[in-house]
A and B are shown apart, each in its own frame.
Chain A
Amino acid sequence: MKTSPLSKTFIYVMLGIGSILMLLPFVWMISTSLKSGNEVMIMPPVWIPETLRFDNFVAAFEKAPFATYFVNSVIVMVLSTLGEVITTILAAYAFSRLNFWGKDALFALLVGTMMVPGEVLLVPNFVLLSDLGWIDRYEALIIPWTASIFSIFLLRQFFLKIPKELNYAARVDGCTNFRFLWSIMIPIAKPALITIILLKAIGSWNAFLWPLIVTNSKEMRTLPVGLTSFSTEAGTVYELLMAASTMIIFPMIILFIFLQKYIIKGIAGAGIKG
């Protein structure tokens, strides 16, 4: 199909407007992070600060133990993502390829739990973890997040699209279930797995409420929780908050740039030619 120059212009203008709207908050965040305290609240707002105050970043970094927060965030993100990927692959394989009693009922039950809002579970989960003595420990930050029904569902659907004959062929070739999963299913499902990893990593990196509730000490806090140290009873120190936020989103942007190709593939649902 050939698009006329006029409609092409229109499409690009619309896309351009869309991108600007999407970028605006980020620009505002970066701009604010470079302002002085007085400039932040000025009306009409100033987009480009008079002097670029890079020392906001230094100040923000000194205000709270961000190095500790960063290490905690990385540990939690890596371990919970790893845990989720392992449980997701195993569960999705079982639900798509193995036969066992009550398989469909169990799967329906699992999917059903997605209808329960997370907030409802906050208190019971807290009580459970508190009884286990996990409060203010890595266990509380990681273990409840090492399984995701949504990811299992997503990967199961992807696995189901892989023709059964591949399984048979692999059995004739001498694969065990585990070998088949490792050598055939996982490589084929790579786009779906990367989507799962990315959604999980972002979710874990940005998680706020749960780490706030289950941690008490500074030593256990993660970056998003650390941002609260800029909100004091006397008000919020916006320029420092924004400087810290800018630093925090940086790893996510890098991750996204490298995995972009796979995310689009995974979400669009990669076609498999049998």
Chain B
Amino acid sequence: MTITLHNISMKFNNTTAVNQLSVTIPKGELVSILGPSGCGKSTTLFMLAGLYEPTGGSILFNDKDVTKLTPEKRGIGMVFQNYALYPHMTVLQNIMFPLKMHKMKKAEAKKKAIEMAKLVEIDHLLDRKPSMLSGGQQQRVAIARALVREPEILLLDEPLSNLDARLRLTMREEIRRIQQALKITTVFVTHDQEEALSISDHVLLMNQGKLMQFDVPSNLYDEPNHRFVASFIGSPSMNYFDAEIVDGTLKTPFGYDLAIEAPNQSVQIAVRPENLYLSTSGLKEEVRLVERVGKDTLAVIGNDTAKKRLFLQKGETVEVGQAVYVQADKDTIRVFQKTGERIYIKE
């Protein structure tokens, strides 16, 4: 099912949690809503679910306006951060509960619930109470309960944040596997960019209630349309260099100029750490720190107010205090206005 948000807004008293959000989520995709804490991502999900009614705008599932529809009439399944399993019911009763609420015959409901339990691989735990399950198992029960009515949309609110690191990795692959098996349109809220970038077809990046970029994961990383996106995505984070545009020419700190169609102004050039390299010419900086990060070596250069990071190539060594020249190729640099908007360089 295609989900269309049209100028959706949500105000709580005087704070605007979501501001004029418009986006179309294609059918059968897994889409992550990503952003820092309090950016309105969970609020957006709750509006999709019908648990919050937006204060402005409309929500369409395919072409049907569901803005005023109650949650159970929307054909959605939802998984919550703390799983929200009913503690007094067994796993089987939990999974059967939505069917029971929709008056399905008991035998049929049981059959479907067991089917769903098999899909999420918990069919050996059906008689247990939720308190006797591990976090990962509870998660699977919650997914089974969300899917048992065969909804056309699955909504997940930070489903992995209560799990330990290793389990998180397994569960996110599980979610992807189940999503692919059912071809169900899935919206997934997370604050973890790695999670979002690894399993999503599209990522919806939000900040302060606004849509920053809706794109495929690789574009979010390589072609950020705003300085916020560039800074938020990637670790270690983006390096920034001050530069000037004078009469249609961008004067880079790396010793070369680029033709650019923009009025005269101060701008910032952003370069990813893996695209910054040591050279014989370019920008002269002092090495401040050298650290091993897994298989790579990361060098921190620059001064206190403007530190930059770059990965050393195999075989390169630098000493702390040494002066080096750094360079970045012109196809790897991204230019942003002082206000944050991207300035595109003509090819």
Contact = CB atoms under 8 A, between A and B. Distances in A.
A175 B84 contact: no
Contacts of A102: none
B55 to A, nearest CB: 16
Contact of B131 (A171, A172, A273): A273
A274 interface: yes
Given A165-B81, A179-B101, A273-B130, A172 B72 contact: yes
Interface in A171-214: 171-175, 179, 183-184, 187-188, 190
A172 B76 contact: yes
Contacts of A174: 72, 98, 101-102
B136 to A, nearest CB: 15
A173 B72 contact: yes
Interface in B50-80: 50-51, 70-72, 76-78, 80
Q: Which of B51, B98, B101 neighbours the largest number of chain A CB atoms within 10 Å of its CB?
A: B101
Interface in A150-178: 163, 165-166, 168-175
Nearest to B79: A169
Interface residues of B, number: 26
A169 B70 contact: no
B142 to A, nearest CB: 8
Contact of A274 (B70, B83, B98): B83
A272 interface: yes
Contact of A171 (B51, B83, B102, B145): B51
B88 interface: yes
B71 A171 contact: yes
Interface residues of A, number: 20
B87 interface: yes
A183 B89 CA distance: 10
B241 interface: no
B51 A175 contact: no
A165 B84 contact: yes
Contacts, number: 64
Contact of A168 (B51, B87, B102, B130): B51
B80 A168 contact: yes
A169 B130 CA distance: 15
B97 interface: yes
B70 A175 contact: no
Nearest to A171: B71
A218 B70 CA distance: 57
A270 B97 CA distance: 24
B254 interface: no
A183 B130 CA distance: 16
Contacts of B84: 163, 165-166, 168-169, 274
Contacts of B21: none
A179 B86 CA distance: 14
Contact of A188 (B51, B77, B87): B87
Nearest to A270: B87
A21 to B, nearest CB: 39
B82 interface: yes
Contacts of A173: 72, 97-98, 101, 145
23 contacts: A165-B81, A165-B82, A165-B83, A165-B84, A168-B51, A168-B78, A169-B86, A171-B70, A171-B71, A171-B72, A172-B49, A172-B50, A172-B71, A172-B72, A172-B98, A173-B72, A173-B98, A173-B145, A174-B72, A174-B98, A174-B102, A188-B88, A274-B82
Interface of A: 163, 165-166, 168-175, 179, 183-184, 187-188, 190, 272-274
Given A173-B101, A174-B72, A272-B87, 4 more contacts: A168-B71, A171-B72, A188-B86, A188-B87
